[in-house]
Amino acid sequence: MGIAVAADGTIYVADLELHRVVTIDAEGEVAEFAKVQGPSGLSFDKSGILYVATRSADRLVKIDAGGEVTAVEGANEIRFAQDVAVDGNGRVLVTDGYGKSIWNFAGGANKVLEGEPLVHPVGITVSPLGIYLVDPRGLGVLKLDADMASKVLSE
């Protein structure tokens, strides 16, 4: 379901049905990287740690370069983790579809946006221009600034 590319060009893919994260190298070889229950969204931080939003009880895990999976503390408060993105400030942002919220896991579990205008946020990505969310049941695409203030881009 989710996809992320490491600094070395290796592609990481969340395999929701087989409960794992796989890698695809430059030659197209696919290999299992880690077992993760219900993986969905993927994102790397600057140090190469892979964050995975999951549909398991853990909701958010991180995986080191060796494939060791660790639950992120406080993430079990998320009702339905769907996607994750790490921004340039090190914020680990997770969409909570059922909770109508966005969480930040840099330095603890904190809701940074909740309720209106969110209805069911499912996707999140970061660019140099801002943080973008997709909420198909709400206002479509939203852009967040560094302070998490939102602006509707399309409905």
CATH architecture for the domain at 3-154 = 7 Propeller (2.130)
Per-residue model confidence as pLDDT tens digits over 67-112: 999 999 999 999 999 999 999 999 999 999 999 999 999 988 999 8
- Collect all residues with Cβ–Cβ distance below 8 Å to 96 and sequence separation of at least 6: 78, 79, 80, 81, 82, 102, 103, 121
Average pLDDT value for residue range 45-73: 95
Long-range contacts formed by 73-81: CB under 8 A, 24+ apart: 73/108, 73/109, 74/105, 74/108, 74/109, 75/103, 75/105, 75/109, 77/103, 77/109, 78/103, 80/55, 81/40, 81/41, 81/53, 81/54, 81/55
9-22 residue pLDDT tens: 999 999 999 999 99
| Tokens, residue 66 | 């060796």
Supply the mean pLDDT for the chain: 91
Percent of the chain with pLDDT over 70: 95
DSSP 76: G
pLDDT over 70 (residue 151): no
The amino acid sitting at 138 is G
The answer on pLDDT for 154 being more than 60 is no
pLDDT band at 130 (very low <50, low <70, confident <90, very high): confident
